[in-house]
Structure 1
Amino acid sequence: MTVTEGAGHSPAAHPSYPGDGDPLGLLDLFGAPFVRDPYPWLDRLRSESPVHHDPATGLWLVSRHQDVREILLDNDRFLPDNAQHAATPLPVAVLRVFARARFALPPALANNGTPSHAGLRRVVTRFFNAQRVAAAVPVIERVAEELLDAVRPGLESTGGCDLFTSFAQVLPCRVLMELLGIQGVEPATLIRWSDASLELFWGRPTLERQLELAELVVEFQRWLTETVRGGAAPEDSFIGALARHRLPDGSLLDVETAVGACFFVFIAGQSTTGQLVATVLSRALAEPGIWPRAAAEEGLAEAWVEEVLRREPPVTTWRRVTARATRLGGVELPSGAQLLLMLMGTGSDPDLFPDPERMCPHRANIRHHLAFGVGRHRCPGASLARTEAAVALRSAARALPHIRSAAESAEPPMLGLLSFRAPLRVAVEHRP
């Protein structure tokens, strides 16, 4: 993964930008300063250039809450077609790897603006609706308890551990596998495939790294294809439902599109939820009094998750492309303009959220954040992700009451992709 050392959270002042001149001209969306502490840059964008052209990427950065919401709700002017394009152009050598494997992911969900989207979304949503999520709580609690039971002996004997690799990263994967009826693969393998996909398509890896990642992505797609095509998935499983799904013209869903839907759901359901859990734990440990309260106070874990989603969501940006020349936020955009919606920045928009740098559970308007998007393409797994993160925090606070952030955790390595940001280590130590 693309990582950077350091993790600033909530600076109250303007940034110390390197050099003089136009600070926004120095913005590097993949650079260590932005990944480590994006808030000053986001504040500057929102106040000085809310629709800002970034020459380094060619993207138009949209940072005000009202503008981003307008884009997400207007599916005629702003299309999702580029939502999953590679952030770093794939070189010929990588394209050859894909061509040999006949790798293809047709539009299915996040990048699908065709009439097939609504039916596919209904299939997916059926597995993540409120009733199923409520029924899944005992599963989440059981898996969390099993993982924390495995963590405790090592923590007590060595005095420390990393809750990212041992807990936050694994919990969503195991839960997803149980809920969707996924068998015949180890959680560690699914995690490796999913993380490789994120880094290849949303990172800025070197050519050598791109080739390594491409091989893993091909493995992922090959396994998904064999699983979908094999016909062995139970009818009531997620893959079984996709295999039986019919398109608007009455034809059965093709294997490639079913694989594309699985690809999206598996990554969103495990990697991004794991990133959310890691951030929720890290921020709770850093905020005085939250850890013990999360263990005992009803509703506090849920409220804390919502504040983290507002201030520090794992999905930090998303993309859209203009269908025609249009005006947004006082700026004229040409047809085909590539937009980067700064979801993370919208959660700190002071026009909507007073004192945005302050973590304040139970904000009256907290559900107005855009961490899961809004409208036709709103994340179908939002309820499950919220629930998993709340259960993870409450379970960890109860099972490990005597821990605190390790000294090293003040500057953990950060995942620094175009659309994803989270701590890659949640180092804790046992406090006698």
Structure 2
Amino acid sequence: MDLFDQGYALDPFPAMAALRENEPVKYDENTGLWLVSRYEDVRAILLDPENFLPDNAIDAVGRFSVPTLRVLARVKFDLPQTLANNGSETHAGFRRIMTRLLNAQAVNASVPMVEKVVAQSLDEVEERLAADGVCDLATTLARDVPFQVMLRLLGLERAIDVDIDTLARWSDASLELFWGRPRRGREVELAREAADFYAWLTGLVQQPDPQDGTLLGALAAHRLPDGEPLSVAQAAAVVYFMIIAGQMTTTQMLSTMYRRALEVPGLWRQFAAEPGTVEPWTEEMLRREPPITTWRRVTGRPMTLSGVDLPEGAPLLLMLASTGSDPDVFERPEQICPHRANVRKHLSFGVGRHRCSGAELARMEADVVMRMTAARLPDLRLADDSTPEMLALLSFRAPLHVRVERG
């Protein structure tokens, strides 16, 4: 099994089922990670941050080459412990910042804004369809809406001086650099993009007089437990993570949902006729095919999982996508059953101290985007029904293109 292979990315479910059944905790020589595939094991790990540390959550998969390290060193690239990779006492403070900006009240209040952004993006999709006869939803609406929504919710839209195309290119490069397996020349190329992104971010977080009620304002006002303000590296790391996590994962989620909805005969027109069917369907898709397929932890002391003894410092790969298909938890997991009783029991957003701060925002965006697209374009269909090319990174999976036409 090769976690970076296109065949695995297209259909990982047989391999995950074999792991759950035969080797629920398996050492993978290709990555040096212990693969943990059963629901109960993964949930227990996520709920025990004292023994299973988040320190390696955003580490690069492999060792960088010397030329790559030189590129990153020129901009003093550094991602200190802040959010996903933080098991220290400072995590709670960073978490509170994101909770204030992305809590349920803020998400509910943002629905009209999201609907307006989606409507504008649909205007552009319709223009492309009229002009070219085809449009790629993955690189237009599914990409642009999450960017615009996240920038507005975090109060960054007036502070940035680059366009969405640039942010997307930087984000794509960062994902591939840290979660991919690029060849040497490609790795250096990606590092240059990531370095440009980081250099821009360090300038962004040092802008004078950031506005209250925004992410930059909150970071400037925040104080660590010892009373010290955040360093430039800490503030840049938070924004770096939020732009990537808040946009790229939602883009991947929407791309997967578009592809699956348009593949099932009659489902898209059902969404157009019965918009109330969209929300439960999207929740089931999050269970079965989450955009974040895996996440990492490291053992803080010797531990035993499913009968396998692990030493202190063992790097773990928690297979979130596998847990959503665990038959011990979800009956007939291969079927999309929108009204299953335990539909929200999945771990696609994590659980416990490091549960995704943007979970409710992602749910709302999925419902609004899918519902409004189906209502505006009920005759949409896939323009290319061939096997899609997949994003095949350690922790991220989605079709790279969803080309559609009307008919």
Question: Normalising by the residue count of structure 2, what TM-score does the alignment of the two structures yield?
Answer: 0.97
Aligned-pair CA distance for 1:332? 0.5
Counterpart among 287, 305, 309 of residue 328 in structure 1: 305
CA distance in 1, matches of 2:257, 2:386: 15
1:409 is displaced (CA, Å) by 3.5
- After TM superposition, give the deviation of residue 83 of structure 1 in Å: 0.5
CA distance in 2, matches of 1:157, 1:218: 37
Q: 1:310 is paired with a residue of what secondary structure?
A: helix
For residues 188 and 159 of structure 1, the distance between their equivalents in structure 2, rounded to whole angstroms, comes to: 23
Map 1:51-130 → 2, pairs under 5 A: 51-130=25-104
Whole-angstrom distance in 2 between the partners of 1:126 and 1:149:
32
Separation in structure 2 between the aligned mates of residue 32 and residue 275 of structure 1, nearest angstrom = 16
One-letter amino acid of the counterpart of residue 37, structure 1: D
- Choose 417-426 or 287-296, whichever is displaced more: 287-296
The structural deviation recorded for 1:298 is 4.5
After TM superposition, give the deviation of residue 290 of structure 1 in Å. 2.1
- How far apart are 1:238 and its partner, in Å? 0.9
Provide the rounded CA distance (Å) in 2 between the counterparts of 1:361 and 1:124. 30
Aligned equivalent of 2:143: 169
SS at match of 1:411: coil
Instruction: Tell me the equivalent position of 1:372.
Output: 349
| Equivalent residue letter for 1:93 | P
- Distance apart, 1:157 and its partner CA: 4.0
* Residue of structure 1 in register with 2:228 after alignment: 251
Residue 401 of structure 2: aligned partner: 425
Deviation digits for residues 48-93 of structure 1 (CA, Å, limit 9, x no counterpart): 1001111121111000000000000011110000001101221111
- 1:302 matched to 2:279: yes
Deviations 1:350-384 (A, max 9, x none): 01111111111122101110101000000001111
Per-residue deviation, 1:130: 0.4
Q: Distance in 2 between matches of 1:87 and 1:257?
A: 22
Of 250, 254, 261 in structure 2, the residue corresponding to residue 273 of structure 1 is 250
The CA deviation at 1:98 is: 1.3
**How do 1:176-187 residues align onto structure 2 when only pairs under 5 Å count?**
176-182=150-156, 183-187=160-164
Partner of residue 368, structure 2 = 391
Query: What is the identity, as a one-letter code, of the residue corresponding to 1:317?
Result: T
Tell me the equivalent position of 1:159: 133
Give the match for residue 340 of structure 1.
Answer: 317
Query: Is this contact kept in 1: 2:6–2:390, CA < 8 A?
Result: no
Tell me, yes or no, if structure 1 residue 414 matches structure 2 residue 367. Answer: no
Is the CA contact (8 Å cut-off) linking 1:86 and 1:201 kept in structure 2? yes
Please list, as runs of the form range in 1=range in 2, the aligned pairs for 1:27-38 lying within 5 A after superposition: 27-38=1-12
TM-score (norm 1): 0.91
Answer yes or no: is the 8 Å Cα contact 1:80–1:112 preserved in 2: yes
Match of 2:16 in 1: 42
Structure 2 matches for 1:196-275, cutoff 5 A? Answer: 196-275=173-252
- 1:254-289 per-position Cα deviation (integer Å, ceiling 9, x unaligned): 221111111111101111111001111111111233
For residues 118-169 of structure 1, give each alpha carbon's deviation from its aligned partner in whole angstroms, at most 9, with x where no partner exists: 0100001111100110111111111111111111132134332211112101
Moved more, 381-390 or 64-73: 381-390
Q: Residues of 2 paired with 1:345 and 1:422: CA distance?
A: 15
For 1:289 and 1:133, the matched residues in 2 are separated by: 31
Residue range with higher mean Cα deviation, 52-61 or 292-301? 292-301
Residue 320 of structure 1 aligns to a residue in which SS?
strand
- Contact conserved, 2:269 with 2:379, CA < 8 A, in 1? no
Deviations 1:211-249 (A, max 9, x none): 111111111111111111122431221111111101111
Per-residue CA distance 1:276-313 (angstroms, 9 max, x = gap) = 01111111111233212223424322111111110000
In structure 1, distance between residues paired with 2:311 and 2:276 = 46
Deviations 1:86-112 (A, max 9, x none): 012211111111112211111110000
For residues 309 and 254 of structure 2, the distance between their equivalents in structure 1, rounded to whole angstroms, comes to: 39
- Contact 1:317-1:420 at 8 Å conserved across structures: yes
User: What's the CA shift for 1:402?
Assistant: 0.9
Share of identical aligned residues, percent? 54
Runs of 4+ in 1 over 6 A off after TM superposition: none
Contact in 2 for aligned 1:227/1:233 (Cα 8 Å): no
Partner of 1:127, secondary structure, is helix
Cα offset, 1:200, TM superposition: 0.3
Task: Verify: 1:354 aligned to 2:354, yes or no.
Answer: no
Deviates more, 1:224-233 or 1:198-207: 224-233
Q: Which of 311, 329, 337 is 2:288 aligned to?
A: 311
Residues in 2 aligned to 1:201 and 1:361: alpha-carbon distance in whole angstroms = 34
CA contact (8 A) 1:409 1:426 kept: no
Where 1:230 maps in the other structure, the secondary structure is coil
